[in-house]
Structure 1
Amino acid sequence: MREQGIDQKDIAEADLRTRRGVFRAVAFRDPVDGHEHMALVRGDVRGRADVLVRMHSECMTGDIFGATRCECGDQLGSALDAIVREGAGVLVYLRGHEGRGIGLVAKVRTHVLQDDQGLDTVDSATAIGLPVDVRDYGPAARILRHLGVRSVRLMSNNPDKVSALESYGVAVAARVPLLVPVSDDNVRYLTAKRDRLGHDLPQLDAPAVLDTAPVSEVR
């Protein structure tokens, strides 16, 4: 069955001036999940291969309020910085992904269990009867196709994101680590992501040599 595309009537584009310079803001309503997402595009990516891409899951607490429990806000900034350095790339900001898809209220409830009972990010979700991760990356694949991206270098520490994007027909040439410093506030969260969810987080073993810039690529 042919993959459903994004209707032109559900897309709006405009230049977005930011402190990092000008991006092309591509807002779109996904035909499958119904959410309105955003792709920030730098440079000319149409028809290009190996485009630097970040699929960033919505995190109100980290991205907007600067919460230090997670690394989301730091990764958002680092990904945009990397795209600027590259001169071209796409950051897809995916809404409806709060708390790995369980929603904002449920996410805050898991924080209570983490603080009061010492549960990690995995067990705190299952303790309230919810799945650990229900995110769908179809919207990212659809907007990348709309933008004419031929293949991507995906900024992520999560190998599962590579297979998830490839399952929608997007060619992933490489995975680019996007590491952030370990702190007293985020070490439990990062450790659980490494040990329970299979994320590649070498800075947990050697925090002193961390370089936050995504400089190496893994395939």
Structure 2
Amino acid sequence: MTTAAPGAKLGGRIKEIAERAMPAVDLIVSGHSHFSYECTVNDPAGHRRLVTRADSFGRSFTDLRFDLNRAGDVVRGTVRATFRPVPVDTARQPAMAELVETWRARSEDVANRVVGHITADMPGRGSTLPETPLGSFLADAQVAAGKPQGADRLLADTVRIDGRPLSPDTTYKVALNEFLANGGNGFTVFGDITAREGGEVTDLDALVTRLETTTSATSPAAPPAPGRITFVAR
């Protein structure tokens, strides 16, 4: 048996993948949504299979231990998974520092490429405002990228579609980035939606295109003014 508990609370695309991946896959190490877990999901044959993911930014890792048979396959019954937090005072590892520096140097030209111009910083997580300038600018970029599929930004205090209030009995098309579409940031209901289309444009592509096509050295973009969102006290 694995050391992880059944993934009853696991949702989104990763659960669907774990449930559908062929039984020959004995262990799933996932990523992308930044949340850590060590749990089991039954494979198509009804057998428990470990699914794990570490925290973002190296805050933790999963210590995996398992046996291999003579053919080099994982012996599923021997799989052990342990959550390992990484304290902020952890010493730098020379080998990892060298690896990071290697790829930093290789990506320097791409990282330093100018794609747009702004009049002032647009803070996101570091903003003192609940409605962050960077979030608003990213929303505009993603709306622009989704225009061919009919995307638009909601401006009214009350959410309305074609002038009519939302109805719980109606199916709506929502344009959003892949992270949220997979249940990130607590939007777990999106992870349960399987009818999808598009996905060819990443959020980074949308941002770069927005900057390249709407800004210049002589016409930089200003941080979006707050006021799009009305916060209601609970």
* TM category, shorter: under 0.3
TM-score (norm 2): 0.20
In terms of fraction of residues, the more helix-rich structure is 1
Larger Rg: 2
TM-score (norm 1): 0.21
In terms of fraction of residues, the more strand-rich structure is 1
